[in-house]
Amino acid sequence: MSYNRIVMDAAKSYSDQGAHVRAGEIIKAHSENKEDIREIARGMIDRNGARSMLDLGCGYGWFEDGLERGFDVVVGVDALEENRLRFVRSAKKIAQEAAFITAVLPSLIDFPSHSFDLVVSVYSFYFFPDMLPEARRLLGDDGAFVAVTHSESMLEEGNRYFDFRNLKKIIENFSAENGEAKLRKHFNAVTAVDYPNALVFRSGEEKDLAEYIDFKREFIREDVDPDLVKETMLRELSREGLVRLNKNDRIFVART
């Protein structure tokens, strides 16, 4: 199977909005770090004067949820048409105008250069790292590009049993470890904040662990049977009484 096909299959994890929302609830409930990573990212940017935002790989509008109203326009770009209605609904709560573009990234976005004060990509830029030049083109001179991404150590506990080489390859496209070097090829100033975290599942929480692994099914199926992963980790939970999964992330803010 081609690498592009692997990426598209992984992206399908986000097509089931109910499962996506439920996964977010599980992550929140089992995270050691209880601070909302979106609030940290929002605190790293100056919202004063930011009137237009472009969200690359926007999904159903997870980043937009909870933002304060004040934008003139918010535009989301995503490969999954299924996300249109919910994204637009979320974006309209914070902007006078909202738009959704269905596109497989990287691709050119039909807006003039410097159209946006803020460009964001949250847990998605590793799918389309070649989008950086276009993100830079679309960003205004005083704007900020915000990217939130995973560490390459994601699911490192599972590596004791399985070889997640395809998953690792995806994350290595734009990771906590290499994101700054990639950004500095296009931006003059880059700041980063680490978000140390782990998901902890204890005895009696087998259902949540199983649902979380099911949500990651499309990410891992090219490396190993997801049901085998689930069976193995549930057995680990039964034997040890606790499963701890690495969830370290990093927030980048880049400026021209």
Give the 3-state DSSP-derived string for 73-86, with helices as H, strands as E and coil as C: EEEEEECCHHHHHH
User: For residue 43, which amino acid is it?
Assistant: G
Non-local CB neighbours of 252 within 8 Å, separated by 6+ positions: 145, 146, 147, 148, 149, 179, 180, 183, 190, 191, 192
pLDDT at residue 104 tops 70: yes
* Residue 80 CA to its chain's centroid (Å): 14
Centre a 10 Å sphere on the Cβ of residue 221 and count the other Cβ atoms it contains: 17
Minimum mean pLDDT range among 12-21, 177-186, 234-243: 12-21
Nearest to 248 by CA among 169, 195, 174: 195
Rounded average pLDDT over 99-109: 96
Query: What's the confidence (pLDDT) of residue 157?
Result: 76
Segment 114-127 mean pLDDT: 96
Of residues 15 and 46, more confidently modeled: 46
pLDDT in tens, 153-165: 887 777 788 888 8
Burial (0-12, 13-18, 19+ Cβ within 10 Å), 179: buried
1 burial via Cβ count (<10 Å: 0-12, 13-18, 19+): exposed
Token output for 179? 């994101």
Upstream peptide bond of 106 is cis (omega within 30 degrees of 0): yes
Please state, in angstroms and rounded to a whole number, the distance separating the CA atoms of residues 244 and 88.
36
- Report pLDDT for 192: 97
Q: Quick one: 3-198+248-255 is in which CATH superfamily?
A: Vaccinia Virus protein VP39 (3.40.50.150)
How do the domains of the chain map onto residue ranges? 3-198+248-255
Q: Which residue has the higher pLDDT, 9 or 73?
A: 73
Taking all residues of the chain, what is their mean pLDDT, rounded to a whole number? 91
**Rounded distance, CA 216 to CA 25, Å?**
14
* pLDDT score of 1 more than 50: no
| 198-216 mean pLDDT | 95
